[in-house]
Amino acid sequence: EVQLVQSGAEVKKPGESLNISCKGSGYTFANYWIGWVRQMPGKGLEWMGIIYPGDSDARYSPSFEGQVSISTDNSISTAYVQWSSLKASDTAIYFCVRDGGNSGIAYWGQGTLVTVSS
């Protein structure tokens, strides 16, 4: 069974750094693109970017380019999104997904709530 299990909720202050993670299981992690989706409080879904674990090819949505960094550690089948300096506007739920292309996104992590507040 394909599963994506994300790290737990985080509470951070503005300016702090953060990594959140997404561990894949039930499939060959290196063979599928992993994407990240943001959902701000009470708002819709926003595509952040995507990475291919096989060669670490990462692509970013223009709104997120330079704001976050996406990476993987294939030895532990885990993808990450990283912030070097958080802002209050980064407060959101972040979902990792396994890309399905034109077959849609069938696999989602459970979401990680990030709260940034002074």
Partner 1 sequence: DIQMTQSPSSLSASVGDRVTITCRASQTISTSLNWYQQRPGKAPKLLIFAASSLQSGVPSRFSGSGSGTDFTLTISSLQPEDFATYYCQQSYTTLMYTFGQGTKLEIK
Q: Does 91 contact partner 1 by CB under 8 A?
A: no
CB contact at 8 A, 22 and 76: no
Nearer to partner 1, 50 or 116 (CB): 50
Cα 93 to Cα 106: distance, rounded to the nearest angstrom: 18
The binding track of 38-77 with respect to partner 1, each residue x by CB under 8 A or -, is ------xxxx--x--------x-xx---------------
Binding mask 6-35 for partner 1 (x = CB under 8 A): ---------------------------x-x
Whole-angstrom Cα distance, residue 118 to residue 109? 28
Residue 35 to residues 11, 82, 88, 92: CA-CA distances in angstroms?
23, 13, 23, 16
Residues that bind partner 1 in the complex, under the rule CB under 8 A:
33, 35, 44-47, 50, 59, 61-62, 95, 99-106, 108-111
